[in-house]
């Protein structure tokens, strides 16, 4: 798999790619929270951060998926959840890890994930997992993440497991 790395400066050029992969990943999902319009808000919000990083995977002439995120400001944490008092140090927030259905279960997600984290200098990484997807939470636990609690960042969002991994 070919991996491509992007920064905040590349965000306008990869925006449609990220949205298109999202559309493929959520095709047929009627939940308005998973609509392209709603997701575009998050893409724009995260990619506007100057330290935003993104890695995409490519194979067979097309995209496999991507991961992106940025560092929380000192003391920052996920909306709807209090930062655990025992967590000290800098935090990279992995906002999205998305793989199109064709490539799920092939190990490509882990490769993309690891490539993104390989470019990160932080003490820990954190992410959110929809609590309706226990298999995804188990996958992350296999990657050395642990659940620290749950959050519901907005009225229209699902409940999420807040997961952390020390780097």
Range 144-151 average pLDDT: 97
- State residue 151's pLDDT score: 96
Q: Is the pTM of this model over 0.85?
A: yes
The C-alpha angle with vertex 129 and arms to 128 and 132, in degrees rounded to 5, equals 145
- Per DSSP bridges, beta strands 2-7 and 146-151 are unpaired
Mean pLDDT of 22-49: 95
Backbone angles phi, psi at 106, to 5 degrees: -110, 0
Read off the CATH number of the domain in which 113 is found: 3.40.630.30
Q: Do 67 and 118 meet the contact criterion of CB atoms below 8 Å apart?
A: no
The mean pLDDT of 119-138, rounded to a whole number, is 96
Per-residue burial over 9-29, b = 16 or more CB atoms within 10 Å of its CB, e = otherwise: eebeebeeebeebbeebbeee
Q: Is the pLDDT of residue 97 over 90?
A: yes
**The total number of structural domains that make up the chain:** 1
**Residue 99: which domain range?**
2-166
């Amino acid at each position: 798999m070919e991996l491509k790395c992007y920064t905040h400066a590349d965000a306008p050029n990869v925006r449609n790619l990220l949205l298109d992969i999202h559309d493929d990943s959520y095709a047929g999902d009627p939940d308005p929270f998973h609509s392209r319009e709603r997701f575009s808000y998050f893409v724009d919000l995260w990619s506007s951060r100057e330290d935003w990083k993104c890695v995409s995977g490519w194979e067979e002439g097309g995209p496999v998926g991507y991961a992106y995120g940025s560092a929380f400001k000192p003391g920052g944490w996920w909306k709807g959840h209090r930062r655990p008092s025992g967590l000290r140090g800098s935090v990279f927030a992995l906002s999205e890890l998305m793989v199109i259905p064709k490539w799920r279960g092939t190990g490509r997600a882990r490769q993309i994930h690891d490539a993104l984290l390989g470019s990160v200098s932080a003490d820990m990484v954190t992410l959110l997992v929809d609590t309706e997807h226990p298999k995804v939470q188990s996958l992350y636990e296999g990657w050395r993440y642990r659940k620290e609690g749950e959050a519901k960042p907005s009225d229209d969002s699902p409940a999420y497991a807040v997961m952390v991994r020390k780097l």
